[in-house]
């Protein structure tokens, strides 16, 4: 009779473990849903259509291409530390002379070291 009682106890233990696993799984899913809802509630709201960015009055902003040259370093006999320089050592720049960007020749392929005759 003792073996029958042990078998019945093991079955109840197995059912208890399955039920405990289902409870833990339900708690994890519930915590995930609650956490994702809290995150969504704390996010800033989406902007309305009238709050969307607008194009400037003068149209789209264009890229400005210019050649910048560094400011000259002062010539002294002693070494200068950054705090003794203008703007505390932050190198300033100014607009340089207008120089065209280097371009490939019209008849060339542009391939460096290709050895070929290029485009004809």
Q: Could you read off the pLDDT of 9-35 as tens digits, one per residue?
A: 677 788 889 999 999 999 999 999 999
Quote the CA–CA distance of 88 and 90 in Å, as a whole number: 6
pLDDT for the residue numbered 34: 93
pLDDT tens sequence across 38-74: 888 888 888 899 999 888 888 888 777 777 787 777 7
Query: What pTM, to 2 d.p., does this model score?
Result: 0.33
Q: Cβ–Cβ contacts within 10 Å for residue 85, how many?
A: 15
Quote the CA–CA distance of 101 and 80 in Å, as a whole number: 35
Quote the CA–CA distance of 85 and 74 in Å, as a whole number: 8
Instruction: Take residue 30 and report the two structure tokens written for it.
Output: 């519930």
At residue 40, what are phi and psi to the nearest 5 degrees? -65, -40
Nearest to 89 by CA among 80, 97, 98: 80
């Amino acid at each position: 009779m003792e073996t029958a009682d042990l078998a019945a106890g093991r079955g109840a233990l197995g059912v208890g473990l399955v039920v405990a696993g289902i409870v833990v799984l339900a708690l994890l899913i519930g915590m995930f849903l609650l956490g994702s809802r809290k995150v969504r509630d704390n996010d800033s709201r989406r902007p309305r259509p009238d709050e969307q960015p607008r194009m400037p009055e003068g149209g789209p902003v264009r890229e400005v291409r210019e050649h910048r040259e560094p400011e000259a370093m002062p010539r002294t006999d002693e070494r200068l530390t950054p705090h003794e320089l203008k703007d505390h050592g932050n190198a300033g720049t100014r607009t340089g002379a207008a120089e065209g960007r280097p371009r490939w020749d019209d008849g060339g392929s542009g391939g460096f070291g290709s050895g070929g005759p290029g485009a004809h």
